């Protein structure tokens, strides 16, 4: 069975770290890419905090969250990374099903968590240039909970920035999910359809 609890705990970092107002550190950014990446994270946060505080039905919130995800997260790149080597062995039809299910899983899990993050604040620290992109560090302070260190990996920061990973307390969301998928597939004869069915069931149960 997919490790849903572990994945959702990491997914929960998204609304937490996006929940403004933010308190920016005084440290100067080291590069134009770092400055663009931090501005991008702030702008994305402003959109999500509006969704957190907005009235409306679950379906309305899902639509808003879906728009944010489509605009600011490279969902297809993250999804392909999480499937690892099995992306190459999947048929084109399976690949398309998987991409759609992965996006729906993100939208569903983040939407379910929105109501828990009113009053959250985060501090933006250093931005570092790495091979995979700009790493924007934040510290999230949630009422009645310990502070959490969260890093955002932003690809193509100077042109068309997109989030490609979230690292919560040193744990990568996409690496965790790739390991979980690989473990699941190894237990189910490397059958991609079995994985698709498991993800579909998760989405249906939480939809």
Instruction: Please name the residues in contact with 123: beta carbons below 8 A apart, sequence gap of 6 or more.
Output: 22, 23, 24, 25, 138, 139, 141
Domain that holds residue 120: 4-206
| Number of domains, the chain | 1
Note the Cα 143 to chain centre separation in Å.
Answer: 21
Residue 156 is given by DSSP the state: S
Helix (H, G, I), strand (E, B) or coil at 58: helix
- CATH number, domain containing residue 149: 3.10.450.710
User: Is 66 exposed, middle or buried, given 0-12, 13-18 or 19+ CB atoms closer than 10 A?
Assistant: middle
What is the average pLDDT value for the chain, to the nearest integer? 80
Q: Express each pLDDT in 58-100 by its tens digit.
A: 788 788 889 999 999 999 999 999 999 999 999 999 999 999 9
Structure confidence by residue, pLDDT tens digits, 41-68 = 877 777 776 777 677 777 887 888 899 9
């Amino acid at each position: 069975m997919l490790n849903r609890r572990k994945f959702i705990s990491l997914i929960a970092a998204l609304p937490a770290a996006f929940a403004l107002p933010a308190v920016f550190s005084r440290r100067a950014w080291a590069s134009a890419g770092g400055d663009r990446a931090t501005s991008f994270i702030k702008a994305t946060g402003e959109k999500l905090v509006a969704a957190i505080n907005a009235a409306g039905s679950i379906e309305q919130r899902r639509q808003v969250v879906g728009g944010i995800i489509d605009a600011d997260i490279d969902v297809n790149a993250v999804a392909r990374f999480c499937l690892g080597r099995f992306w190459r062995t999947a048929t084109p039809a399976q690949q398309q099903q998987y991409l759609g299910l992965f996006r729906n899983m993100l939208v569903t899990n983040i939407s379910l968590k929105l109501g828990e993050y009113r009053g959250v604040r985060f501090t933006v620290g250093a931005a570092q240039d790495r091979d995979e992109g700009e790493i924007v560090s934040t510290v999230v302070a949630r009422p009645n909970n310990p502070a959490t260190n969260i890093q955002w990996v932003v690809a193509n920061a100077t042109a068309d920035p997109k989030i490609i990973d979230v690292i919560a307390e040193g744990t990568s969301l996409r690496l965790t999910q790739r390991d979980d998928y690989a473990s699941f597939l190894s237990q189910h004869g490397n059958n991609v359809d079995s994985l698709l069915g498991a993800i579909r069931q998760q989405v249906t149960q939480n939809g």
